[in-house]
Amino acid sequence: MQSDAPSNPPRHVAIVMDGNGRWATSRGLPRPAGHQAGVETVRRVVEAAPRLGIETLTLYAFSSDNWRRPTAEVAALMALLRRFVRAETGRLAQAGARVTMLGRRDRLPAGLAAEIAAAEQATASGTKLHLRVALDYSARDAILDAARRAAALPQLTREAFSRLLSGGDHAAEPVPDVDLLIRTGGEQRLSDFLLWECAYAELLFVPCLWPDFSAGGLADAVAWYAARERRFGGVGAASAASPAPAVAAVPSAA
Protein backbone atom coordinates (compact mmCIF):
# COMPACT_ATOMS: atom_id res chain seq x y z
CA MET A 1 0.00 0.00 0.00
CA GLN A 2 1.36 3.41 -1.00
CA SER A 3 1.84 5.76 1.96
CA ASP A 4 1.14 9.50 1.80
CA ALA A 5 1.78 9.89 5.50
CA PRO A 6 3.94 12.67 6.97
CA SER A 7 6.61 11.55 9.43
CA ASN A 8 4.42 12.38 12.45
CA PRO A 9 0.83 11.72 11.47
CA PRO A 10 -2.01 11.86 14.01
CA ARG A 11 -2.55 8.35 15.37
CA HIS A 12 -6.16 9.04 16.29
CA VAL A 13 -8.40 11.32 14.21
CA ALA A 14 -11.98 12.06 15.25
CA ILE A 15 -14.48 13.73 12.93
CA VAL A 16 -17.75 15.59 13.51
CA MET A 17 -19.35 15.07 10.11
CA ASP A 18 -21.49 18.21 9.99
CA GLY A 19 -23.28 19.92 7.12
CA ASN A 20 -25.30 17.12 5.47
CA GLY A 21 -28.61 18.90 5.99
CA ARG A 22 -27.38 22.20 4.55
CA TRP A 23 -25.78 20.42 1.61
CA ALA A 24 -29.15 18.85 0.74
CA THR A 25 -31.28 21.94 1.42
CA SER A 26 -29.06 24.13 -0.76
CA ARG A 27 -29.83 21.74 -3.64
CA GLY A 28 -33.57 21.66 -2.96
CA LEU A 29 -33.29 18.08 -1.71
CA PRO A 30 -34.70 16.53 1.48
CA ARG A 31 -32.21 16.39 4.38
CA PRO A 32 -31.76 12.58 4.21
CA ALA A 33 -30.29 13.05 0.72
CA GLY A 34 -27.47 14.93 2.44
CA HIS A 35 -26.87 11.99 4.78
CA GLN A 36 -26.85 9.66 1.78
CA ALA A 37 -24.21 11.84 0.12
CA GLY A 38 -22.35 11.87 3.46
CA VAL A 39 -22.04 8.08 3.34
CA GLU A 40 -19.96 8.43 0.15
CA THR A 41 -17.62 10.77 2.00
CA VAL A 42 -17.33 8.23 4.81
CA ARG A 43 -16.21 5.63 2.26
CA ARG A 44 -13.57 7.98 0.80
CA VAL A 45 -12.21 9.00 4.18
CA VAL A 46 -12.08 5.46 5.58
CA GLU A 47 -10.20 4.32 2.50
CA ALA A 48 -7.70 7.18 2.69
CA ALA A 49 -7.03 7.08 6.44
CA PRO A 50 -4.49 4.21 6.64
CA ARG A 51 -2.47 5.67 3.74
CA LEU A 52 -2.14 8.87 5.75
CA GLY A 53 -0.78 7.04 8.78
CA ILE A 54 -4.02 7.23 10.78
CA GLU A 55 -4.45 4.19 13.05
CA THR A 56 -7.74 5.06 14.73
CA LEU A 57 -10.61 6.97 13.14
CA THR A 58 -13.69 7.87 15.19
CA LEU A 59 -16.72 9.18 13.29
CA TYR A 60 -19.66 10.92 15.00
CA ALA A 61 -22.61 9.41 13.16
CA PHE A 62 -25.47 10.09 15.59
CA SER A 63 -25.46 11.87 18.94
CA SER A 64 -27.83 11.05 21.78
CA ASP A 65 -29.30 14.52 21.20
CA ASN A 66 -30.01 13.69 17.54
CA TRP A 67 -33.10 11.72 18.68
CA ARG A 68 -34.74 15.16 18.82
CA ARG A 69 -34.73 15.34 15.00
CA PRO A 70 -37.88 14.65 12.98
CA THR A 71 -38.86 10.97 13.12
CA ALA A 72 -38.55 10.57 9.35
CA GLU A 73 -34.97 11.92 9.34
CA VAL A 74 -33.96 9.63 12.22
CA ALA A 75 -35.52 6.62 10.49
CA ALA A 76 -33.74 7.48 7.23
CA LEU A 77 -30.41 7.79 9.05
CA MET A 78 -30.84 4.47 10.86
CA ALA A 79 -31.73 2.76 7.58
CA LEU A 80 -28.69 4.31 5.88
CA LEU A 81 -26.39 3.19 8.66
CA ARG A 82 -27.76 -0.33 8.49
CA ARG A 83 -27.23 -0.46 4.73
CA PHE A 84 -23.71 0.93 5.11
CA VAL A 85 -22.71 -1.63 7.73
CA ARG A 86 -24.19 -4.49 5.73
CA ALA A 87 -22.65 -3.38 2.43
CA GLU A 88 -19.21 -2.43 3.74
CA THR A 89 -18.36 -5.11 6.30
CA GLY A 90 -16.77 -7.47 3.77
CA ARG A 91 -14.72 -4.70 2.16
CA LEU A 92 -13.61 -3.34 5.54
CA ALA A 93 -12.56 -6.80 6.72
CA GLN A 94 -10.58 -7.29 3.52
CA ALA A 95 -8.88 -3.93 3.94
CA GLY A 96 -7.79 -4.93 7.45
CA ALA A 97 -10.08 -2.51 9.29
CA ARG A 98 -11.51 -3.31 12.70
CA VAL A 99 -14.93 -1.79 13.31
CA THR A 100 -16.30 -1.02 16.75
CA MET A 101 -19.21 1.06 17.89
CA LEU A 102 -19.34 3.41 20.84
CA GLY A 103 -22.52 4.71 22.39
CA ARG A 104 -25.78 3.17 23.60
CA ARG A 105 -27.05 0.12 21.74
CA ASP A 106 -30.30 -0.45 23.60
CA ARG A 107 -32.23 2.31 21.79
CA LEU A 108 -31.07 1.41 18.26
CA PRO A 109 -33.38 -0.49 15.92
CA ALA A 110 -32.77 -4.19 16.62
CA GLY A 111 -31.74 -4.89 13.01
CA LEU A 112 -29.06 -2.20 13.10
CA ALA A 113 -27.72 -3.34 16.47
CA ALA A 114 -27.47 -6.92 15.16
CA GLU A 115 -25.74 -5.76 11.97
CA ILE A 116 -23.19 -3.80 14.03
CA ALA A 117 -22.48 -6.77 16.32
CA ALA A 118 -21.91 -8.94 13.23
CA ALA A 119 -19.56 -6.33 11.71
CA GLU A 120 -17.59 -6.10 14.95
CA GLN A 121 -17.19 -9.86 14.97
CA ALA A 122 -16.31 -10.14 11.27
CA THR A 123 -13.63 -7.45 11.48
CA ALA A 124 -12.23 -8.24 14.94
CA SER A 125 -8.78 -9.26 13.65
CA GLY A 126 -8.20 -6.10 11.55
CA THR A 127 -4.95 -4.30 12.31
CA LYS A 128 -4.62 -1.59 9.60
CA LEU A 129 -7.29 0.80 10.90
CA HIS A 130 -9.52 0.90 13.94
CA LEU A 131 -12.76 2.47 12.71
CA ARG A 132 -14.99 3.57 15.59
CA VAL A 133 -18.51 4.73 14.85
CA ALA A 134 -20.17 6.83 17.55
CA LEU A 135 -23.90 6.14 17.51
CA ASP A 136 -26.45 7.27 20.09
CA TYR A 137 -23.33 8.70 21.70
CA SER A 138 -22.94 11.36 24.39
CA ALA A 139 -19.51 12.02 25.90
CA ARG A 140 -21.04 13.15 29.17
CA ASP A 141 -23.12 9.96 29.44
CA ALA A 142 -20.06 7.88 28.52
CA ILE A 143 -18.06 9.60 31.27
CA LEU A 144 -20.85 8.99 33.82
CA ASP A 145 -21.08 5.35 32.79
CA ALA A 146 -17.31 4.87 33.04
CA ALA A 147 -17.31 6.59 36.44
CA ARG A 148 -19.93 4.14 37.72
CA ARG A 149 -17.85 1.18 36.50
CA ALA A 150 -14.65 2.76 37.82
CA ALA A 151 -16.03 2.58 41.35
CA ALA A 152 -15.41 -1.18 41.27
CA LEU A 153 -11.70 -0.83 40.43
CA PRO A 154 -9.15 -1.24 43.23
CA GLN A 155 -7.02 1.54 41.76
CA LEU A 156 -8.17 4.24 39.40
CA THR A 157 -5.66 5.77 37.00
CA ARG A 158 -6.21 8.01 33.97
CA GLU A 159 -5.28 5.10 31.75
CA ALA A 160 -7.72 2.72 33.41
CA PHE A 161 -10.46 5.33 33.09
CA SER A 162 -9.65 5.83 29.41
CA ARG A 163 -10.01 2.08 28.87
CA LEU A 164 -13.39 2.07 30.54
CA LEU A 165 -14.43 5.03 28.38
CA SER A 166 -13.50 3.31 25.16
CA GLY A 167 -15.91 0.54 26.03
CA GLY A 168 -13.46 -2.11 27.16
CA ASP A 169 -12.88 -3.42 30.65
CA HIS A 170 -9.91 -2.26 32.71
CA ALA A 171 -7.67 -4.90 31.10
CA ALA A 172 -8.53 -3.97 27.48
CA GLU A 173 -6.12 -2.33 25.07
CA PRO A 174 -6.63 1.44 25.58
CA VAL A 175 -7.70 3.57 22.61
CA PRO A 176 -5.18 6.43 22.27
CA ASP A 177 -6.33 9.97 23.01
CA VAL A 178 -7.55 11.97 20.03
CA ASP A 179 -4.66 13.79 18.32
CA LEU A 180 -6.69 15.66 15.72
CA LEU A 181 -10.37 16.53 15.81
CA ILE A 182 -11.90 17.77 12.56
CA ARG A 183 -15.33 19.34 12.35
CA THR A 184 -16.76 20.10 8.94
CA GLY A 185 -19.67 22.47 8.29
CA GLY A 186 -18.21 25.65 9.78
CA GLU A 187 -19.49 25.38 13.37
CA GLN A 188 -16.86 25.61 16.10
CA ARG A 189 -18.06 23.40 18.95
CA LEU A 190 -17.56 19.86 20.28
CA SER A 191 -21.25 18.92 20.65
CA ASP A 192 -20.65 16.41 23.47
CA PHE A 193 -18.09 14.39 21.46
CA LEU A 194 -15.09 12.68 23.13
CA LEU A 195 -14.72 15.36 25.82
CA TRP A 196 -12.20 13.37 27.89
CA GLU A 197 -10.31 11.93 24.92
CA CYS A 198 -9.84 15.37 23.29
CA ALA A 199 -8.02 16.87 26.30
CA TYR A 200 -4.98 17.76 24.13
CA ALA A 201 -6.42 17.28 20.65
CA GLU A 202 -5.59 19.78 17.94
CA LEU A 203 -8.93 21.19 16.78
CA LEU A 204 -9.55 21.92 13.12
CA PHE A 205 -12.81 23.52 12.02
CA VAL A 206 -13.36 23.62 8.28
CA PRO A 207 -16.20 25.37 6.41
CA CYS A 208 -16.59 22.58 3.86
CA LEU A 209 -19.89 20.67 4.25
CA TRP A 210 -19.39 16.96 4.98
CA PRO A 211 -20.64 15.63 1.60
CA ASP A 212 -18.05 17.88 -0.10
CA PHE A 213 -15.17 16.73 2.11
CA SER A 214 -12.65 14.54 0.33
CA ALA A 215 -9.60 12.36 0.81
CA GLY A 216 -7.59 15.46 -0.22
CA GLY A 217 -9.26 17.43 2.60
CA LEU A 218 -8.22 14.74 5.05
CA ALA A 219 -4.66 14.79 3.69
CA ASP A 220 -4.59 18.60 4.13
CA ALA A 221 -5.83 18.23 7.70
CA VAL A 222 -3.14 15.65 8.46
CA ALA A 223 -0.46 17.93 6.95
CA TRP A 224 -1.79 20.85 9.05
CA TYR A 225 -1.58 18.65 12.16
CA ALA A 226 1.95 17.50 11.33
CA ALA A 227 3.12 21.13 11.31
CA ARG A 228 1.63 21.90 14.74
CA GLU A 229 3.87 22.07 17.77
CA ARG A 230 2.26 20.09 20.55
CA ARG A 231 3.43 21.16 23.98
CA PHE A 232 1.07 19.35 26.37
CA GLY A 233 1.44 22.17 28.86
CA GLY A 234 5.23 22.24 28.58
CA VAL A 235 7.35 24.59 26.53
CA GLY A 236 8.21 24.23 22.87
CA ALA A 237 11.68 23.64 21.48
CA ALA A 238 12.12 27.34 20.58
CA SER A 239 10.78 28.63 23.90
CA ALA A 240 12.87 26.15 25.90
CA ALA A 241 16.07 27.55 24.34
CA SER A 242 15.23 31.22 24.86
CA PRO A 243 15.10 32.78 28.33
CA ALA A 244 11.83 34.07 29.75
CA PRO A 245 11.29 37.81 29.10
CA ALA A 246 12.56 40.04 31.87
CA VAL A 247 9.86 41.45 34.12
CA ALA A 248 11.25 44.90 33.33
CA ALA A 249 10.22 44.38 29.70
CA VAL A 250 6.59 44.77 30.73
CA PRO A 251 5.67 48.46 30.40
CA SER A 252 5.25 49.98 33.82
CA ALA A 253 1.99 51.61 34.80
CA ALA A 254 3.78 54.63 36.10
What residues form the annotated binding site for Mg(2+)? 18, 202
Min separation Cβ 183 and ligand FPP, Å: 10
Complex with ligand FPP: residue 162 or 184, whichever CB lies closer: 184
Q: How many residues bind ligand FPP (CB under 6 A)?
A: 20
Q: Which one of the spans 55-63, 105-113, 217-225, 237-245 is the region binding ligand FPP (CB under 6 A)?
A: 55-63
Q: Which residues are annotated as a binding site for substrate?
A: 19-23, 31, 35, 63-65, 67, 69, 183, 189-191
Q: Are 85 and 116 in contact (CB under 8 A)?
A: yes
Q: Which residues are annotated as a binding site?
A: 18-23, 31, 35, 63-65, 67, 69, 183, 189-191, 202
Min separation Cβ 236 and ligand FPP, Å: 35
18 is catalytic: yes
Give the orientation angle of helix 158-165 with respect to helix 139-150, to 10 degrees.
Answer: 120
8 is catalytic: no
List all residues 6 or more positions away from 24 whose beta carbon is below 8 Å from its beta carbon.
30, 31, 32, 33, 34, 35, 37
Complex with ligand FPP: residue 35 or 170, whichever CB lies closer: 35
Q: Are 132 and 101 in contact (CB under 8 A)?
A: yes
In 3D, which of 215, 204, 69, 64 has the Cα closest to residue 138? 64
Min separation Cβ 31 and ligand FPP, Å: 6
Residue 162: phi, psi to the nearest 5?
Answer: -60, -40
Q: Are 98 and 123 in contact (CB under 8 A)?
A: yes
Q: Which one of the spans 6-14, 31-39, 96-104, 173-181 is the region binding ligand FPP (CB under 6 A)?
A: 31-39
Min separation Cβ 62 and ligand FPP, Å: 6
Q: Exposed, middle or buried, 56 (CB in 10 Å: 0-12/13-18/19+)? A: buried
12 backbone φψ class: left, alpha, beta (φ>0; ψ -120 to 50): beta
Q: Active-site residues: which are they?
A: 18, 66
Give me the residues that bind ligand FPP (CB under 6 A), please.
Answer: 17-22, 35, 38-39, 42, 59, 61-62, 66, 80-81, 84, 133, 185, 210
